[in-house]
Structure 1
Amino acid sequence: MITQRQISILNAIVEDYVELGQPIGSTMLIKRHNVQVSPATIRNDMKSLEEQKLIEKTHSSSGRVPSEAGFRLYVNQLLQQPSVEGHQNKLNLSTLYSENHYDISTTLNCLAQLFSDQSHYATIVVGPDHTKSSVIDVHLMKVNTHHIIVVLIHQSGHVKHLHLSLTFELDDMTVIKLSNFMSRNIEAFLNHGNHHYLDAYRLMGFNNTEVAVMLQVYYLIKKHLETETSRIYLGGKYQLIERLNESTVASIQPILQYVESDRITQLIAQVSDDPINIRIGSEIDHNLEGIAIVTRPYVLTNELEGHIAIVGPTAMRYQNVIQLLSQNR
């Protein structure tokens, strides 16, 4: 059973370790905090915390460092505290979206960089799942006689460019004709544009070359929609790289590897839509140490939503990160 005094000592150890980056001993606690008990009592409480596996002794000194369980107890206390509304750094996401002329990619790139600049940690923004947003228009643009770009416009505002190379030549008028047909009949084309409708296209006056192009465009779009995933926007990778030195490489290198892998997108997809969600070390992956991920959902519009994830070491400034994510809505 942990006492309130031991919780206070644990919190002091966590905060001092995050700030100083070195093991914390009883003498340091007494110097840095207004402790009203004897050094012997502090040492006894630290021994009890160690027995409860909330802090750990290092080989290099007599000090202690927080364990994953210690960090977890600490952040659980932070999450139970009422959020403090501030105005200095408050960011309205809808305003940011409009300021970037309703361009999703630009907005989310900007969002990732803003959160990284304010948190001083790497930040990942997971874009909306555009497979849930219907395609409302298709346009064809000719690059040269053998290459066209298929422009998809989603209801969410997302625009995607697909490239199609042809084995035969295509003139400008044919491209315009096919583009106008697909745009005017977008729903029917996407639902019934496959090879089963060859005769229907011919009855509408399309020649074999035009039909062949429409089939290729149809299957190109279908393949893209079946494999489309939420795009990832990364901000502040340099925040991690700048901290690399002999003492931090062991903890920061796994973070860089994790950020660049598909595993982090899988994790973010699995987190709940709680206002703030925190995963630490083995909670992320049973073989993983040294990484913490703090996530929260965001909403730009009713159809544009995703998650923001701040990634850093387990010795993260959790209070600052939680406050930042809570204030920006």
Structure 2
Amino acid sequence: MITHRQLSILNAIVEDYVDLDQPIGSKALIERHNLNVSPATIRNEMKQLESLNLIEKTHTSSGRSPSELGFRYYVNQLLEQTSHQQHKKVQRLRGLLIDHQYDISSALHAFANELSMASQYTTLVMRPNHKQDIISNIHLIQANDYLIIMVVVFASGHVEHLHLTSAKRISNDELNKISNFVTDKYNAWSSLQFEQELNSFTQSVSEQDFIKTMFETLQLHFDNQSNGIFMGGKVKLIDALNESNVSSIQPILQYIESNKITELLDDMSNSSINVMIGHEIDTSLSDISIVSSEYHIDDRLKGRIAVIGPTAMNYQNVIQLLNRIW
């Protein structure tokens, strides 16, 4: 446990280091924060913080910079404060969906770019799991003798277009009957009950195979989409890194572009703000932080958003930004 004065000094060092991107000395602290104590007192308190591994001294400067542990201590204070504050929530994604005619990929891409502009960092938006959504309607449209377009309409307003092939031509009346059957049965699907109802619906082997293909196509499509990620402001990640940490760009980008980032965001899956710093993310990473929270399309359908930046991130602004998003 550190004293109130030590906490004030740690907070000042973190905030000045984020602003100035250089180690902070005792004189600079006194001048920038009007501290009514002597430089000797500040230096003694800084030595105490250094002994606790909350700040560290670089070889090229007499100043101090926050350690990963120091950033963690600072962030924990912020999270504790913001958890007791009331935030006016903004449902921005609903407006983007309307603007983009309920094309969710286009809306999420725009959402990622807007978050990047607002935060000034790289952002990730994970596609929501549409298995949590309800299919309200399925339409089948004959494109040619063997190609059929399956139009899937969700309760959230989102629409998907999938391509199917049929071994033989299916009439429009048959397609309508199949559409109604699959729409009715998909949301309450169970393999045993489905087989029984499918046999009652049609004795045609080709129609049964086609309906099974519809279900398999939907399942595979949703499984493939569950890992979909939209990135905004990728160049900002490179801009945020400086000469001392430029070597960490490649492992960070590799991590973002791998399935590891998806697994990490899944593990951080709750409605509160989550912050992971440096080696907390991965033992191979440093100089990077991820701030994550949840977004909602409606009460049922939700996904994850993440802001990625250096460990010297403006955490206060980012946490407040994500706290406003519903």
TMscore range, shorter length: 0.7 to 0.9
Task: Supply the distance in 2 between the matched residues of 1:231 and 1:223 (Cα, whole angstroms).
Answer: 13
Q: Counterpart of 1:51 in structure 2: which amino acid?
A: S
Q: 1:85 to 1:114 in 2, by over 3 A?
A: farther
Establish whether residue 105 from structure 1 lines up as the match of residue 85 from structure 2. no
Q: CA RMSD for the aligned pairs?
A: 3.2
Q: Counterpart of 1:264 in structure 2: which amino acid?
A: I
Establish whether residue 249 from structure 1 lines up as the match of residue 250 from structure 2. no
CA deviations on 1:191-236 (whole Å, 9 max, x unpaired) are: 466699569623xxx5x65555444334333444555525322222
Report if aligned partners of 1:138, 1:150 keep a CA contact under 8 Å in 2.
yes
Gaps of 5+ in 1: none
- Alignment partner of 1:296 out of 290, 293, 305: 293
Report if aligned partners of 1:84, 1:323 keep a CA contact under 8 Å in 2.
no
1:79 partner SS: helix
Report if aligned partners of 1:252, 1:313 keep a CA contact under 8 Å in 2.
no
Report if aligned partners of 1:141, 1:175 keep a CA contact under 8 Å in 2.
no
1:35 partner SS: coil
In the TM superposition, what is the alpha-carbon distance from 1:72 to its structure 2 partner? 1.0
Q: 1:225 to 1:328 in 2, by over 3 A?
A: closer
In the TM superposition, what is the alpha-carbon distance from 1:18 to its structure 2 partner? 0.9
Q: Counterpart of 1:300 in structure 2: which amino acid?
A: I
- Alignment partner of 2:176 out of 175, 180, 185: 180
Report if aligned partners of 2:123, 2:232 keep a CA contact under 8 Å in 1.
yes
Q: 1:59 to 1:306 in 2, by over 3 A?
A: same
Report if aligned partners of 2:148, 2:165 keep a CA contact under 8 Å in 1.
yes
**Which structure 2 residues correspond to residues 141-180 of structure 1 after superposition, within 5 A?**
141-165=141-165, 170-171=168-169, 174=170, 176-180=172-176
CA deviations on 1:170-192 (whole Å, 9 max, x unpaired) are: 55xx2634431221212566446
In the TM superposition, what is the alpha-carbon distance from 1:275 to its structure 2 partner? 3.2
Q: Counterpart of 1:201 in structure 2: which amino acid?
A: T
Task: Supply the distance in 1 between the matched residues of 2:132 and 2:66 (Cα, whole angstroms).
Answer: 43
1:185 partner SS: helix
Q: Counterpart of 2:285 in structure 1: which amino acid?
A: L
Partner of 1:265: 262
CA deviations on 1:24-59 (whole Å, 9 max, x unpaired) are: 222332333312222222221111111100011222
- Alignment partner of 1:284 out of 273, 281, 286: 281
Q: 1:34 to 1:154 in 2, by over 3 A?
A: same
Moved more, 120-129 or 309-318: 120-129
Report if aligned partners of 1:23, 1:64 keep a CA contact under 8 Å in 2.
yes
TM-score by length of 2: 0.83
What is the number of residues matched between the two proteins?
320
**Which structure 2 residues correspond to residues 34-45 of structure 1 after superposition, within 5 A?**
34-45=34-45
Partner of 2:202: 201
Q: Give the % identical residues.
A: 47
Partner of 1:25: 25
Establish whether residue 76 from structure 1 lines up as the match of residue 98 from structure 2. no
Partner of 1:5: 5
Gaps of 5+ in 2: none
